[in-house]
Amino acid sequence: MIVPDTVPRGTGQPLKGSLKILSRLRGARGALGFAVAALLWIATFAYAGGQGAGATLSTALAFAAFGVIVGTGQMLVIASGSGNFDLSIPSVMTLAAYISMGLMHGQDYRLAGGFAVALAVGAVAGALNFLAIAALRLPPMIATLAWSFVFQSLAMNLGGEATIKPPALLSEFTVFRLGGVQVMPLFVMAMTAVMAVVVKRTVFGRHLLAIGQSERGARLAGIHVTRVRLYSYMLCGIAAAVAGFLLSGFTGGAALNMGDTYMMESVAVVVLGGASVAGGEANPIGIWGAALFFNLLAILLNTFGLDAGVRLLLTGIMVVLIVAVAPRTAGD
């Protein structure tokens, strides 16, 4: 969809000036998410007469954490090159949650085993997604969509319409506070930190971003493109599974539609977080900014007592405006 502009040979010189500016602005869209989120936060408690700043932030952090987990997975897939998207995230969330909750039967001592199974479900789902893309040569959107139907069916078979209750320990963990600070978002922040190191300082991360910028270039640099892309889809599946696992603890059980809103949210936080859909960029920290922005916006619009319709309308307009007006990332 996005054709990289080819700069004719030997015209590097006049480009210099504009590129310097571009490089300074890089990541500006990611920072924009934080800035807008901060403004929204201030606006919220200013509106409430200076009350409830902490409560607002902690609610936003808790909800944003789930968006950040799936967004980080989607980020790896999007970074692997133009056209790569994982639309199966909601169904993998549901499937992993159903399987793991079903196996744990609400018993605390099975928590570790359940978590391991959830991770395995995510990894397998990601591998299947990539297999369909590579072997059947399907566009990633169609392949992951078709698998999402299959995963959804599997989840229905396992749980039907019922909600499967999580172990009490899991529920406690997701809302646990240590000295007034929630622990679960801290864990997700740690994951973000790890991911920031992974994309910058590991061979996998560097290779992934290289492939996203130029698949041909990456092949000629000796990079094993297929393997790296497989890993990115598997990691995305794992992220979805983790989000599904934690979300069922947070909301009181695995439900069929639990992941529905995350398909759109996972893509939106990646792009608003400062990466380009053309691939080759990853900004794990920016995802937090975008996810906080989304959730604070929801809270603010709620505090204003606006209708659901107006809230959606304003959210949509904000998304379009940020993408249209914000400075381009280098990858765009």
Partner 1 sequence: MVPGDLIAMDSIRKAFGAVHALAGVDFHVDRGEVVGLIGHNGAGKSTLMNVLFGTTQRDSGRFHIAGREIAGAFTPHQAHEAGIRCVFQELSLCENLDVVENTRILHRSLQGIGWRRRARRLIADQLDAIFPGHGIALKARIADLPIGARQMVEIARAFTVTDAPLRCVILDEPTSSLGHEATRQFLAFVRQAAGQGVAAIVISHRLDEILNVCDRVVVMVDGRVVAQQRSEGLTRPDLVAMMGSIEVPRAVAKARDGSHDQTRDRVIDAPGRDAHDLPIHLAPGEIIGFAGLDGHGQRERMRALFHAGLKASRDRHRPAVAYVAGDRQTEGVFRIWSIADNLTIGTLPSLCRGPLISAAASRSLVEGWMARMKVKTDSADRPILSLSGGNQQKVLFARALASDARTVFLDDPMRGVDVGTKVEVYRLIRAEAAQGRSFVWYATELDELTNCDRIYVFREGRAVEHLEGTDIRQDRILAASFGGMVNA
Partner 2 sequence: MPEAAILNSGSHSLWPRRETLETALPFLALLVMLGIIFAVRPTVFSYFGLTLLFKLAIPLMFAALSQMLIINLGEIDLSNGAFVGLVTCIVAVYLEKAPGHAVLLLVGTVLVYVAVGWLISVRKLPSIVVTLGMSFVWLGCAIIILPAPGGHSPAWLIDAMRWKPPLMPLPLWTALGIAVIGHWALKSSSYGIVLRGAGANPKSVARAGWSLVKARLLLYAGAALLAVIAGLFLSGITTSGDPNVAPGYTMLGVGAVILGGGTFNGGVVSPIGTVVGALTLSLASSVLSFLQVAPVWQIGAQGLILFLVLAGRVLIGGRRL
CA dist., res. 29 & res. 276, Å (int): 10
Longest dimension (CA), the chain: 67
> Is residue 323 a contact residue for partner 2 (CB under 8 A)?
yes
> Is residue 179 a contact residue for partner 2 (CB under 8 A)?
no
> Is residue 7 a contact residue for partner 2 (CB under 8 A)?
no
> Is residue 18 a contact residue for partner 2 (CB under 8 A)?
no
Residue whose CB is less far from partner 2, 68 or 145: 145
Q: Are 195 and 284 in contact (CB under 8 A)?
A: yes
Q: Which stretch binds partner 2 (CB under 8 A): 193-201, 203-211, 246-254, 309-317?
A: 309-317
Least distance from partner 1 to the Cβ atom of residue 278, Å: 9
CA dist., res. 291 & res. 286, Å (int): 9
Q: Which does 251 bind (CB under 5 to 8 A by kind): partner 2, partner 1, none?
A: none
Q: Are 268 and 294 in contact (CB under 8 A)?
A: yes
Least distance from partner 1 to the Cβ atom of residue 214, Å: 6
- Compose the 155-174 pattern: x for residues touching partner 2 by CB under 8 A, - for all others: -xx--x--------------
What are the φ/ψ torsions at residue 164 (nearest 5 degrees)? -95, 125
Contact residue for partner 2 among 48, 58, 83, 204 (CB under 8 A):
83
> Torsion angle of alpha carbons 153, 251, 272, 71, nearest 10°?
-50
Count of beta carbons in the 10 Å neighbourhood of residue 141:
14
- In the DSSP assignment, the letter for residue 7 is P
Q: Give the containing element (helix H, strand E) for 29.
A: helix 28-47
Least distance from partner 1 to the Cβ atom of residue 25, Å: 11
Q: How far is CA 105 from CA 111, 163, 241, 252, in A?
A: 10, 12, 18, 13
Residues contributing to the site for partner 1 (CB under 8 A) = 4, 6-13, 15-16, 19-20, 22-23, 26, 197, 201-203, 206-207, 209-210, 213-214, 216-217, 220-224, 280-281, 329-331
Q: Could you list the residues that contact partner 2 (CB under 8 A)?
A: 1-2, 83, 85, 87, 132, 136-139, 141-142, 145-154, 156-157, 160, 264, 267-268, 271, 276-278, 307-320, 323-324, 332
